[in-house]
Structure 1
Amino acid sequence: MSFRHLGLAAAGLAVFLLVLGLLGTPLQQHFDATLSNWLYDRQPVLAARLLGWTGSFWGSLAIAIAAGRLLRGSGRIAWPGLPLLLLASWLVNAAIKFGVNRPRPQLEHLMSVHGPSFPSGHAMAAMTLFGALGWLLARRRPSGRVAIALAAAALVLAGGLARLVLGVHYGSDVLAGYAVGTVLLAVYFHLGANAPARPYR
């Protein structure tokens, strides 16, 4: 693994371990309460529910399959690589969720949810899906790299914060989801580093 990809993976792992180590502390509780007070039921709930569906297992996998097929000219890193990345994200998420077994926030859930709270599967899916998709598109259209990166970052942020709007996750769940998603992205980038970039003509 290249130094850059290793550094990205190490940063994601460090953030995840930090958040995990702080669970139950006053600092973590203050962080979560502040974000919840700021976001819960104060933004368009309909938009948050739409993001909830697209960021679900089936929604994110459907997007990954469609995007992977459309970008299959980029090689196996796009198809079947992108759907496989999403599957890995949800499997890793489930393993951590049931290992930590953190209860959901004691708020009225504005969308139906199942299973433990930590880390947010939607945040992980947003990070892996839109991070990978942005990377693939930027390789194919280098002139639009900045716009693509900003759009991908906005989708990642929206996918995680929507879970706070709906009252189904703590802020630390979302942060941990982003962190683990970053580790998976680093592995994906490493695997795709030698795949030929085929820009659009």
Structure 2
Amino acid sequence: MQILQAVQATVGARPQAIAIARSMSHFGEHALGWAAIGGVGALVDRRRRRQWAGVAVGAVGAHAASIVVKRIVRRPRPDDPTVAVNVSTPSRLSFPSSHATSTTAAAVLLGRLTGLPLPAVLVPPMLLSRLVLGVHYPTDVLAGAALGAVSAAAVVRAEKKFGER
């Protein structure tokens, strides 16, 4: 709880940080933003259509995996008067962060596709945003990132196994 409170007292004390975090939250909701990027990439880049589709499938699949884990673990979201909740959520379950999960999967897969260090650029801000918004504990976002990385690895294995024949 202390880390969450410290993040909110520093970064979360700035209105523009909350506005950015909310925008990121809406983009990542149900992995829809990542699925859209994968879908558009698949439409425009015919040569790498499967890999772009893999980005969309990987992000949505990672999100689905996080929902399964949430329903098993059933950890409630932070509920403390010292923590400001700055965005609405579709459920009261916290562990793991689905935003962290789908963002990590998408970033790994997009990074592999583009050759850019996207996990290092995209994942930390999304993890931080969930704390700024007061909807996750630090362990929620770390577990989400780990689950997202495992999900991306599963997509890469599937692409290698079922790729062009």
Q: TM-score range by the shorter chain?
A: 0.7 to 0.9
Structure 2: give runs of 5+ residues left out of the alignment: none
Q: Which residue of 3, 13, 23 maps to 1:50?
A: 23
Give the distance between the partners of 2:45 and 2:120, measured in 1 at CA.
20
Give the distance between the partners of 1:121 and 1:190, measured in 2 at CA.
22
Give the distance between the partners of 2:48 and 2:5, measured in 1 at CA.
43
CA deviation after TM superposition for structure 1 residue 54, in Å: 1.3
Moved over 4 A (4+): 193-196
Cα gap change, 1:73/1:90 in structure 2, threshold over 3 Å: closer, same or farther? same
Greater CA drift, 154-163 or 54-63: 54-63
Listed as ranges, the matches of 1:39-78 within 5 Å are 39-40=7-8, 41-43=12-14, 44-57=17-30, 58-78=32-52
Q: What's 1:172 paired with? A: 139
RMSD (Å) for aligned C-alpha atoms: 1.9
Normalising by the residue count of structure 1, what TM-score does the alignment of the two structures yield? 0.69
Greater CA drift, 86-95 or 166-175: 86-95
**Amino acid corresponding to residue 161 of structure 1 in structure 2:** L
Listed as ranges, the matches of 1:112-131 within 5 Å are 112-115=88-91, 116-131=93-108
- Find out whether 1:90 has 2:63 as its counterpart: yes
Q: What's 2:84 paired with? A: 108
Give the distance between the partners of 1:85 and 1:123, measured in 2 at CA.
13
Contact 1:68–1:81, Cα closer than 8 Å, also in 2: no
Cα gap change, 1:49/1:71 in structure 2, threshold over 3 Å: closer, same or farther? same
Normalising by the residue count of structure 2, what TM-score does the alignment of the two structures yield? 0.83
Larger relative contact order (C-alpha < 8 A, sep ≥ 6)? 1
CA deviation after TM superposition for structure 1 residue 75, in Å: 4.2
Deviation per CA, 1:89-123: give whole Å up to 9, x if none.
Answer: 12111111111111000133100112210000000
Q: What's 2:109 paired with? A: 132
Structure 1: give runs of 5+ residues left out of the alignment: 1-32, 139-147, 197-201
Give the distance between the partners of 1:153 and 1:69, measured in 2 at CA.
26
State the percentage of identical aligned residues: 30
CA deviation after TM superposition for structure 1 residue 64, in Å: 2.6
CA deviation after TM superposition for structure 1 residue 193, in Å: 4.2
**Amino acid corresponding to residue 131 of structure 1 in structure 2:** V
Contact 1:82–1:132, Cα closer than 8 Å, also in 2: yes
Deviation per CA, 1:56-100: give whole Å up to 9, x if none.
Answer: 11233222322333344224232x322211221121111111111
Answer with 1 or 2: which has the greater Rg: 1
